[in-house]
Amino acid sequence: MAPNLTTTELEQMFMHNISNVLTLLQQIRDKDASQDEMLASNTNLDLMWVLTCGILVVFMQAGFSVLEAGCVSEKNLTNILFKNIMDMSISTICWFLVGYGVAFGDTTNGVIGTSNYAIQDLYNGSGNGGVGDDGWAFWFFQWAFAGTASTIVSGSIAERTKLQAYLIFTVFMTCFIYPVAVHWIWGQGFMSAFEANPDEHGVPRPLLSGTERSNGVLDFAGSGVVHIVGGVSGLVGAVLVGPRKDR
């Protein structure tokens, strides 16, 4: 039988129990806060890595410029350097207005994106305390590749095309040619590994077999999306304009 307790002793026991409960709740809150901080830290590290990789890709433009400057006549040096600068300038505008939407917009028959032009709907994770994917970081990373694909062609047809003609090609390359290839493999296109399996509602997004065993194409670093598209475009351009005279 429990001993008889005074009112004061009962109040002390009650307050002690309340204190234990509050301490336990505080520990739970601290644990949740720690998990949130860790999640935010991991997200920030991911964003830093994506931005760092994107910056390195942008610096490839300097390498392209030096390479192409060493392969052309001295009289064409200014022209080739100006073309590389204009490449990134034009590709930035085109990727913003059209290219990103074609590449990553909602798909039409798995062929081309038809939404999010001029990035009308782009989630910004930094506006949520740094938690979640940051659409601007992804946009920057993909823009760097778009400019690279276009610049590959610059060296292939150096000294054999007028500046105006090349700049017009850059517009088409960044708005349509390259973004369509991106949509097929990295977006919601018919070859995308990210869209090959049925979605959460069981709706199939097939490649070839049309079953859940469909795999899709996985291009991790752009060897197909960026370099094959840029290389084939450069090859076609070089064949069309022919060899350089006196070279």
pTM listed for this prediction: 0.75
Contact partners, residue 205, CB within 8 Å, separation at least 6:
110, 188, 195, 196, 197, 198, 199
**Of 105 and 28, which is predicted with more confidence?**
105
Res 149 pLDDT > 70: yes
Torsion of CA 67, 71, 74, 75, to 10 degrees: -110
Q: Which one-letter DSSP state was computed for residue 132?
A: S
Residue 37 binned pLDDT confidence (cut-offs 50, 70, 90): low
Contacts 24+ apart (CB under 8 A), 31-35: none
For the chain, state the CA radius of gyration.
28
Average confidence (pLDDT) over 125-149: 71
**Of 180 and 34, which is predicted with more confidence?**
180
% of the chain at pLDDT higher than 70: 68
Whether 153 and 240 have beta carbons less than 8 Å apart is answered as no
pLDDT digits (tens, 9 = 90+) for 174-229: 999 999 999 988 888 878 776 655 556 655 555 555 555 566 777 877 888 999 99
Average confidence (pLDDT) over 134-153: 87
| Sign, CA torsion 206/210/211/217 | negative
Structure tokens at 181: 């290839």
Return d(Cα 36, Cα 131) in angstroms, integer. Answer: 9
Residue 1 binned pLDDT confidence (cut-offs 50, 70, 90): very low
Q: Which one-letter DSSP state was computed for residue 213?
A: T
% of the chain at pLDDT higher than 90: 19
Average confidence (pLDDT) over 73-88: 87
Count Cβ neighbours within 10 Å for each residue of 72-97 and write b for 16 or more, e otherwise: beeebeeebeebbeebbebbeebbbe
45, HSE (Cβ side, Cα atoms, 13 Å): 6
pLDDT digits (tens, 9 = 90+) for 42-73: 677 777 888 888 889 998 888 888 888 888 88
Distances (CA, A) of 35 to 21, 98, 134, 246: 21, 39, 20, 67
Residue 127 binned pLDDT confidence (cut-offs 50, 70, 90): very low
